[in-house]
Each structure stands twice: as structure tokens, then as C-alpha cells.
Amino acid sequence: MSAKKNLDLGSFAQDVLIGLSSKPKSIPSKYFYDATGDKLFQQIMAMPEYYLTRKEFEILENQHKSILKKILSKNEPFNLVELGAGDGLKTKILLRYLDVIGADFTYFPIDFSGTVLEELKGSLAEELPNLPVKPIEDTYRGSLLKREWENGKPSLILFLGGNIGNFPLKEARDVLDHLRLGTVFGDEVLLGFDLKKNPQTILDAYHDKEGITREFNLNLLKRMNRELGANFDVEEFMHWPSYNPVNGECRSHLVSLKKQKVDITALNQAFEFEAFEPIFIEISKKYNLGEIKKLARRSGFELKEAFLDGESFFADVLWERV
């Protein structure tokens, strides 16, 4: 069966069909985030091994005034746009400060998940009732092409959490090309990048002792069972992360522990797995500051300032559209 014949399938089913028909097999990591995946990711962010969230918190807590200095110095109303807003926990550090100083701005949280946006809107209404919030349910690229926030005011776009690392370099460049299309001269972007560091520290973040990341990754198979009528036996697949310090790529695979066949009812198709055949499910790419500067320049931005945590594990970098 070809992908073409299945244009009426949902995008999850279509992407699974394409991914499991490819060699090597793969499934896009954006499908981690159903209700169960969202909860598991919250647990990941609280794990001792997963330093990324803690480090970015530290940066925003300690340096939010410097980060917001330029947009505030304009002394005019502005848009605060956030790609992949999630639970907004980190962003609330900026929002609370902007609220206290009485800044005139509108917050546009963008997320692929409507549920996540509803929850965020509810929690903001409780905590910051005077904040104008306009949620946008869309993908990064879709929202950057539509620019629903466009109103002649300057924008600060947040792209936090190291989410850009979940794209291979070529695709990250494409997302950044969309960022250029979604901004005008003088707009600012605050991007979170996980930095290259001791490979063991990186590997541990994706291979925690409690097995929460394993559960998070296996949820992808369980999601196919729930939503597409697949019959994956998750015990027959192994979570296998690896880190390559040469290109900074941490890659996660699910490895079939035996030769097996999996039926997917929604696709009306069976997929054969060789013993120890991997399914590629996620990349989390790490960068250094030189690479980030180059990436800014080729994408039509200038790196204005890099805000790092005390151990230089993570960077929130401020780019300006030139």
C-alpha cells in the first residue's frame, strides 16, 4: 500500500506508514506528545539527570532583566510570541516580571496541542488575570508562515527548551528560515540551545536510572496500539539512546528484540522487524556557541547576546533580525 493511496488517513497514521516503510524505520518525535506523553515529559523535566529544564530555569530566573532589556527599552507595546509554549512554566518567569513592571504586551503561546494550550490559558487566567493571551494551535512552521500576531508592533519570539535540537541540522535550518519569514527587521528571538558537554552527562539525561525516558519512548508504540489498532508488544522493544560527540547528536532508537511482525489495523498492513532492527525516534542535537553564531548569520539574524547557566550546560541566545 502506498502513502498516496492513504491521503484520507490522519497525519499520525500517514507518518507511521511512511516511517515504518522507510529504511531505516523511523517515526517523527512530535508524536511523543499525547496526554500520556505530556505527563511523562513533565516527569522527565523533573528528573535529576535531565539538566536542561533546570539550567534554563536558572538562566531565566537570574538573567530575565537583561534578556528583556532591549524590547523594553523601545518603550512601546510589543508581542511576546512563544513557539512550543507547553506548560509555560519557564515563560511565567518572564510574564510575572513583565506584569510587575506594567509592560504593555500581548502573549501569543503557540502549541501543536490544543489541550496544552487550554491548560496554559486556564493557569494564566488564574495567576495573571490582566495578561492578554491569544493562544494559537499550530505547528512552528505553520504559525510562522501565517503570523497571526502581525500588528505592526515589535515582537520577541521565544523558542525555548532546546526544542530546536529535536530537528536534524538540515531541518533546523528550514525551521530557522521560517523564523526569518515570520519576523521583520529589528524583531528579537530568544532561542534555547543545549550545549555540547561531557558526553556521559548528555547520555544520562536520555537514559535515566528510573526508566522514565524509556517509558516516554515506548509510549510511542503504545500510542500506535491505542490510536491505530497496532499490536506492538512493548516488552519486545528496547530503548537505546546514543550520543555522538563529533556532531553533537543524541539519537534515540527503539530496537526490536526479536524477529517479529506487527499489524496496524488502521493501515491495513503488517510490518516485519528483523531481530535487533532499530526504529529511529528522536534526535536531540547539542551545539557550541560558534555553531549557534553561524546558524544565526545564515538564517538572517545576528547573535546579540548569549545567556548561560553557571556550568555552561545550556544557553538562551538573543538573536536580532537583520
Residues lying near ligand AVI in the complex (CB under 6 A) = 44, 52, 161-163, 165-166, 206, 213, 216, 282, 284
Taking the complex as a whole, the smallest distance from the CB of residue 167 to ligand AVI amounts, in Å, to: 10
Please say which residue, 79 or 219, places its beta carbon nearer to ligand AVI: 219
In the chain the first and final C-alpha atoms are separated, in Å, by: 47
Q: What three-state secondary structure class fits 267?
A: helix
Q: Do the Cβ atoms of 188 and 66 come closer than 8 Å? A: no
Measured from the CB atom, the residue of 166 and 219 that comes closer to ligand AVI is 166
CB 79 within 8 A of CB 186: no
Nearest Cα to 190, choosing from 78, 291, 307? 307
Cell readout for 10 is: 490522519
Determine the residue with CB nearest ligand AVI: 284
Which residue lies nearer to ligand AVI by CB, 17 or 175?
A: 175
Residue ranges of alpha helices (H) inside the chain are 11-21, 35-45, 51-73, 91-100, 114-127, 140-146, 169-181, 199-205, 212-228, 289-298
Q: Closest separation between CB of residue 193 and ligand AVI, Å?
A: 10
Cell numbers for 226: 491505542
Only one residue has cell 516580571, namely 97
Min CB(212)–ligand AVI separation in Å: 9
Contacts of 240 (CB under 8 A, 6+ apart): 252, 253, 254, 255, 278
Q: How far is the CB of 20 from ligand AVI (least distance, A)?
A: 20
Q: Which is nearer to ligand AVI, 17 or 60 (CB)?
A: 60
Residue 50 Cβ, how far from ligand AVI at the closest point, in Å? Answer: 7
Q: Which is nearer to ligand AVI, 52 or 71 (CB)?
A: 52
Q: Which is nearer to ligand AVI, 44 or 85 (CB)?
A: 44
Give the DSSP per-residue string, 144-200.
HHH-TT-SSS-EEEEE-TTGGGGS-HHHHHHHHHHHHHT--TT-EEEEEEEBP--HH
Q: How far is the CB of 133 from ligand AVI (least distance, A)?
A: 22
Nearest approach in angstroms of CB 284 to ligand AVI is 3
- Are residues 222 and 239 in contact, defined by beta-carbon separation less than 8 angstroms? no
Identity of the residue, 98 or 295, whose beta carbon is nearer to ligand AVI in the bound complex: 295
